[in-house]
Structure 1
C-alpha cells in the first residue's frame, strides 16, 4: 500500500498500557517522521475515548490510525472505524498497531515485527487486509470484535482479572486467575447454535482469527480477511479436562486434542443449557474484556476495517 509523502498518522496512545513501553512509542514516532510522515499523538483518558476518536477523526487528514495499546484499546478503535464504514460510503483510515498490551493477539495474528523500525514500516507501507469484524449482541447491547468472543472458562478468567491486577502482574494475572477458576470449577453446559445446528459445550470461543492469548493456535483455518467465523467447542466437562485443554493450548496441540472441535459458520447463538446449581453471572469476553452476559447472538458486522500488516 502506497501513501502520498504528506500523509499523516493519528497515533492513539493508551498511557496505562504504554507505561512501561513509552520508549517504543517514541521510537516508532521518530521512525515514522523520518519516513516523511506527520504524526499527531493523542492520549486516552477514559474508557470509550479511543472509539470516539476513531469515529470522529478527520479522514481527509489521516491515512492511518495507529493504536499504541493492548487488544482492548484496539477493540475500541475497531468499533469506531467499523461504525464509520456503515454510516458512509467511504472506509475510514487504515488501522495500524503498535502493540503494548498483555497478550497482543492481533499483533501476532498480523505477523507484526516488534521493533520500532519494523512497526513504522508497516504503518507507512504495509499491506491492507479488509476485515469484517464479528459482532456480539445481548440484552440490548452490541460489541464488535476483531479477534474473538468467548463464554465459559476463559470468560470467567477475564471477568475475574481487575485492571489494577493486570497492570501489576501482566500475563501472570491471567495465570493466577485461571488457577482460581479451575479450583472453583462448577459444570456449566452451554447450547451453541451454529447456522441453525445446535451443539453443546463446556466452553466456547467464537473467533475471527487463528490465535488466542498471544501466539497460541485455536482455529488453524481461520483468517481475518475471510468473511467467516470459527466456533471453538470445548466439549468435555470437568476440572481435569479444563486443565488438559489449557496444557494442550500451550503445547500447540489443542486443535488435535480429543473433545475439542472447530466449526465454521456465520450465525451463532450461545446460551446456558444447564448450570448444575451455578448461580454466578455467565460473562462474555470480547477481545479480552468482560463485555456482555449470556445469552448472545454473534455474526459478522455490516461494516469493515482496513488492517495493516507487514509488506511482503
Structure 2
C-alpha cells in the first residue's frame, strides 16, 4: 500500500473556509506528508470514497475535514479496517475533535496528527429492531427528545445559520414537547425515560461533558437517562449539562453499560445526524476503529 493520505474535505461544513483548507495543505506538505484531496458534493460521498480507498488499498491514512456528520460517514466505512483515521475541525461543533484534542487552529491540529500515534477505539453500534440495519457512532447517540430535535433540523437553515439552526430546532421541539416514554432497558433493567443519550465519548453538542468518565478507547458506553415531564424540567436538565453538572443532577441517571434497548418507536440521531424513527438496540464494539492523534 502507498504511504499516502486521503484528505476528505466537506466544503460546506460549518467552519470550512478556503484559508483553513490552504493552511491544512501547507501544514501537511511542510510535515512531509504526501496526500490526495477529495471534495464531497453530497451526503454519502465521504463514506463511498472511504470504502473505495480501503477496498483498493490506495492510501495508508484517511483525514476527515468536515463536521461530525462527515466524520460519522468515514467512521462507518473505515470500521474494522487497519487504515487509521484522523479528524480535523472543519464543522460546527467538532465533537470528536474536542474528544481527541484536535479542536485547535489547523496548523496545530495537523501537527498533532503528523506526530500522533494510532490508537484502537471502540464504537457504538445502533441497530434497528424493525429492519436489522445498523450504523456505528464514535461520539454519542440520542433517542427521544434529542433525536426529535435533530429530526426537526432544516438542512438549508443549518447551512445558512450554523449552530443557530440547531438551537431553533431545539426550541421548536421544546415548545411542542409532549412527554412520551421511550421504553428504555439498560442491561436488563427497565427505566422510565422520555429520552436517553448513549455516549461512547465524554462530550455532547460541542464541549459539554455529559459522560466525563467515557473514553473512546474503552469498550464501555454511558447511558444518560432523562425523564422530563414538563418544560421546566427540560430547562433544568439543559442547564445542568451546560454547567457540566449533569452527573450531580439527581434528575439525570448515568449508567455505565454495554447494551441498551429503546423499543417504543422514537426518533434517533447518531453523532448529530438524524438516523430515523423506530425501536433500537445499542451496544459497544471494541477495537473497531484505528484513530491517529
Q: Deviations over 1:201-238 (max 9, x none)?
A: 12101110111001001111111000111111013321
Q: Which of 111, 123, 126 is 1:121 aligned to? A: 111
1:74 aligns with: 71
- What is the TM-score normalised by the length of structure 1? 0.88
Q: Secondary structure at the match of 2:60?
A: strand
Q: Tell whether the 8 Å contact from 2:124 to 2:285 is kept in structure 1 after alignment.
A: yes
Structure 2 match to 1:33: 29
Matches within 5 A, 1:83-162: 85=80, 91-138=81-128, 139-140=130-131, 141-162=133-154
Aligned length: 290
Residue 241 of structure 2 is matched in structure 1 by 249
Residue equivalent to 2:59:
62
Q: Which of 275, 278, 293 is residue 294 of structure 1 equivalent to?
A: 278
State the secondary structure of the residue aligned to 1:28.
Answer: helix
1:306, distance to aligned residue in structure 2 (A):
1.1
Match of 2:185 among 169, 190, 193: 193
TM-superposed deviation, 1:252: 1.7
Q: Identify unmatched segments of 5+ residues in structure 2.
A: none
CA distance in structure 1 between the aligned counterparts of 2:97 and 2:13, rounded to whole angstroms: 15
Alignment correspondent of 1:229: 221
Query: Which one of the candidate residues 162, 168, 173 is aligned to 1:170?
Result: 162
| Distance in 2 separating the partners of 1:23 and 1:114 | 15
Task: State the distance in 2 between where 1:49 and 1:27 align.
Answer: 23
1-structure distance, mates of 2:18, 2:137:
26
Q: Give the C-alpha shift of residue 60 in structure 1.
A: 4.9
Runs ≥4 residues deviating over 4 A? 58-61
CA contact (8 A) 2:218 2:286 kept: no
Change in Cα spacing, 1:11 to 1:211, as seen in structure 2 (3 Å) is same
Deviation, structure 1 residue 194: 1.5
Cα offset for 1:302? Answer: 6.9
CA distance in 2, matches of 1:301, 1:49: 25
In the alignment, which residue of structure 2 is the partner of 1:88? none
* Paired residues of 1:129 and 1:224 also in contact (CA < 8 A): no
Q: CA RMSD in A?
A: 1.9
Structure 1 residue 125 displacement after superposition: 1.6
- Report the CA distance between 1:122 and its aligned residue: 2.2
Shift of 1:303: 6.4
